[in-house]
Structures are given as C-alpha cells and as structure tokens.
Amino acid sequence: MTIVSTKEFNTNQKKYFDMALNDHVIVKRGRQMFIIRNFMPNDDPDDFFEPDEDFYRSIPIEEVRDSIVEYIRKKHAK
C-alpha cells in the first residue's frame, strides 16, 4: 500500500496508476483519503471492500437520529 499527496499524485499519475495494477494506492488530501484500485471488467466492486472493526462497532443511522431528537427535545424542554 502506498500513500501519496494529491500534489505528488498529480505530478506522477502514470506511475501511481501503474502501481495500482498490483497494489493499493491511497491519495491523501487533508483528512480525506481516496483509494485507487484496479478492477477487472467482470469484478464486483463489493468483493474488494470488506467490513472492518469500525463497521461492526457502528450503530444504525436511525438509532443516531432518535438519540439526537431525544437530546434536542430534552434541551428545549427546560
């Protein structure tokens, strides 16, 4: 896995696209990261993205929404 800045990636795009044929290349821009990955025409992209431990610690968006609504109602009730 190789991590490069956007400036470095823009300067040497061919190098990093060639590198992505065999390895992950991550382009970092501030706090954001983008993965460049080689996909073959018949590949299913979902096969390449496996859930990690953060996924299993996550909670459903509905639960987050309900907690936020409850918090706001309590704050405005005072």
Task: Break the chain into its structural domains and give their ranges.
Answer: 2-77
Length of the chain counted residue by residue? 78
Confidence band of 73 (pLDDT split at 50, 70, 90) = very high
Q: What is the pLDDT of residues 14-68, one digit of tens each?
A: 999 998 888 888 899 888 888 887 766 666 666 666 667 777 777 888 888 999 9
Q: Tell me what pLDDT residue 5 has.
A: 92
Mode of pairing for the β-strands spanning 25-29 and 32-36: antiparallel
Candidates 24, 30, 23, 39; CA nearest to 7 is: 30
**pLDDT number for residue 13:** 92
What per-residue confidence (pLDDT) applies to 48?
A: 60
The H-or-E segment that residue 5 falls in is strand 2-5
The closest alpha carbon to 28, from 1, 6, 2, belongs to 6
Of 21, 39, 23, 72, nearest to 3 (Cα)?
Answer: 23
